[in-house]
């Protein structure tokens, strides 16, 4: 059997607690970025207005831009703010990764018990503190390495925008405002990148802790099941992987960056565990049936028109996901490109 209604409920609770963790991390990082840009807007607007006044009407040359002291000061301020934000990403991302690892390890025992008869030996309840710490440390290292290029990249992007300049409108106020909007867009790419790093690393910390837990309970487990959210916002790859079974020692679920799929441990049969009693039939999630029961709009939002058409012409459900090897990172399951679907 395996999965019971109680198992599904516990998996939902676990997902909700991880979602809450990630949503609060996202809110805090976003607020930091927005506040920082509020402060920087004034500096850049002032610096650009005084530069435009000094050159009179035309867009300043690369040389004018390089020699403007207020602009250099604004760029330095942007760099300093960005460094602080990257520091926040590292500190808060690591704390969230530690919390996710901890939540994974405390939730797994209940999920296992929900599949076993009363009287079964209790699973090892949680991973050791040292293991959680090791997972948090690895997350910290990965977040640090991935966020290292962010600030230099941001500074270069701002400089590129400044040199590119703007070609229309005579009013210096408007010209300055237009440039500041473009600078803002560049500055905020750092936020998008940070959220991607934080979300992905926090989920991977959860997954690592779940793996450690499975290995400690290998005697009662037969594997784990890939569980996706399965709604209109879930991608075709995660839909296709939902419900798939994997060996105990296989790490995962390896979904794409920003993915939030979770693993649910599956126990061996009662007979295999030495219980001579009838075992209730488990609930096996059928992702394909669930997908077919979605509204047409939701199906289109998941797959897009061409992929949905390919699926309806007979593409096998499992072929919607493709494993991709990523140099320098773990493998990931991504939606199979439409042109590869038969």
Binding string, 245-264, against Zn ion, x = CB under 5 A? Answer: --------------x-----
Number of residues that bind Zn ion (CB under 5 A): 3
Question: What are the b/e assignments for 226-252, b being 16+ CB within 10 Å?
Answer: bbbbbeeebbbbbbbbbbbebebeebb
CB of 20 to Zn ion, least distance (A): 20
DSSP 77: H
Residue 114 or 200 with smaller CB distance to Zn ion:
200
Site string for Zn ion, 183-222 (x = CB under 5 A): ----------------------------------------
CB of 147 to Zn ion, least distance (A): 23
Q: How far is the CB of 335 from Zn ion (least distance, A)?
A: 7
Cβ neighbors of 241 (< 8 A, separation 6 or more) are 226, 228, 253, 255, 261, 321, 333
Taking the complex as a whole, how short is the minimal distance between the CB of residue 257 and Zn ion, in angstroms? 10
The stretch among 75-83, 219-227, 230-238, 305-313 that binds Zn ion (CB under 5 A) is: 230-238
238 lies in the site for Zn ion, by CB under 5 A: yes
Question: Is the Cβ of residue 134 or residue 300 nearer to Zn ion in the bound state?
Answer: 300
Burial of 31 (0-12, 13-18, 19+ CB in 10 A): exposed
**CB of 26 closer than 8 Å to CB of 68:** no
Strands 332-335 and 321-324: antiparallel
| CB of 86 or CB of 341, closer to Zn ion | 341
Cα angle 104-256-139, degrees, rounded to a multiple of 5: 50
- The residue among 92, 116, 102 whose CA lies nearest residue 267 is 116
Q: How far is the CB of 197 from Zn ion (least distance, A)?
A: 17
**Cα R_g (the chain), whole angstroms:** 25
CB closer to Zn ion out of 2 and 259: 259
Q: How many residues does the chain have?
A: 342
Q: Which range, of 79-87, 101-109, 229-237, 269-277, touches Zn ion by CB under 5 A?
A: 229-237
Which residues pair with residue 322 across a beta bridge?
Answer: 334
Looking at beta carbons only, is 123 or 259 nearer to Zn ion? 259
Q: Which is nearer to Zn ion, 11 or 158 (CB)?
A: 11
Minimum distance from residue 291 beta carbon to Zn ion (Å): 13
Nearer to Zn ion, 166 or 290 (CB): 290
Residue in 205, 235, 303, 321 binding Zn ion, rule: CB under 5 A: 235
Q: What would the DSSP string read from start to end of 104-127? A: HHHHHHHHHHTTS-TTPPPPP-S-
Compare residues 180 and 240 and give the one whose CB is closer to Zn ion: 240
Sites for Zn ion among residues 108-137 (CB under 5 A): none
C-alpha dihedral (170, 176, 179, 184), degrees to nearest 10: -160
**Which tokens sit at 211?**
């793996």
Q: How far is the CB of 229 from Zn ion (least distance, A)?
A: 9
Closer residue to Zn ion, CB minimum distance, 143 or 238: 238
Dist. CA 342–CA 335, nearest whole Å = 14
Report, in Å, the least distance between residue 238 CB and Zn ion: 3
Task: Report the site for Zn ion in 34-93 (rule: CB under 5 A).
Answer: none
- What stretches of the chain adopt beta strand conformation (E)? 221-227, 245-246, 262-267, 321-324, 332-335
Binding residues vs Zn ion (CB under 5 A): 235, 238, 259
């Amino acid at each position: 059997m395996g999965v019971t209604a109680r198992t599904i409920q516990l998996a939902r609770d676990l997902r909700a607690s991880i979602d809450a963790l990630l949503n609060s991390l996202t809110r805090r990082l976003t607020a930091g970025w927005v506040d920082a840009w509020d402060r920087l807007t004034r500096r850049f607007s002032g610096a650009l207005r005084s530069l435009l006044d000094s050159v009179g009407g035309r867009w300043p040359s690369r040389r004018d831009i390089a020699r403007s002291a207020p602009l250099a000061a604004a760029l330095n301020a942007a760099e300093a703010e960005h460094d602080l934000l990257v520091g926040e990403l590292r500190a808060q991302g690591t704390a969230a990764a530690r919390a996710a690892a901890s939540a994974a390890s405390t939730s797994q025992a209940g999920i296992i018990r929900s599949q076993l008869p009363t009287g079964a030996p209790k699973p090892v309840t949680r991973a050791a503190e040292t293991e959680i710490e090791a997972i948090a440390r690895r997350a910290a290292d990965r977040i640090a390495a991935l966020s290292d290029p962010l600030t230099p990249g941001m500074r270069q992007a701002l400089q590129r925008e400044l040199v590119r300049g703007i070609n229309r409108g005579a009013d210096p106020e408007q010209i300055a405002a237009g440039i500041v909007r473009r600078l803002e867009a560049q500055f905020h790419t750092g936020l998008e990148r940070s959220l991607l790093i934080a979300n992905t690393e926090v989920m991977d910390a959860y997954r690592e802790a779940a793996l450690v837990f499975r290995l400690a309970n290998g005697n009662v487990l037969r594997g784990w099941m890939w569980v996706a959210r399965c709604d209109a916002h879930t991608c075709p790859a995660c839909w296709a992987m939902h419900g798939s079974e994997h060996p105990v020692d296989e790490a995962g679920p390896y979904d794409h960056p920003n993915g939030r799929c979770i693993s649910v441990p599956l126990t061996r049969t009662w007979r295999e565990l030495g219980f001579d009693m009838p075992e209730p039939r488990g609930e096996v999630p059928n992702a394909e049936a669930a997908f077919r029961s979605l509204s047409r709009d939701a199906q289109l939002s998941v797959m897009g028109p061409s992929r949905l058409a390919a699926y309806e012409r007979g593409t096998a459900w499992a072929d919607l996901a493709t494993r991709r090897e990523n140099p320098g990172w773990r493998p990931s399951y991504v939606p199979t490109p439409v042109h590869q679907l038969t």
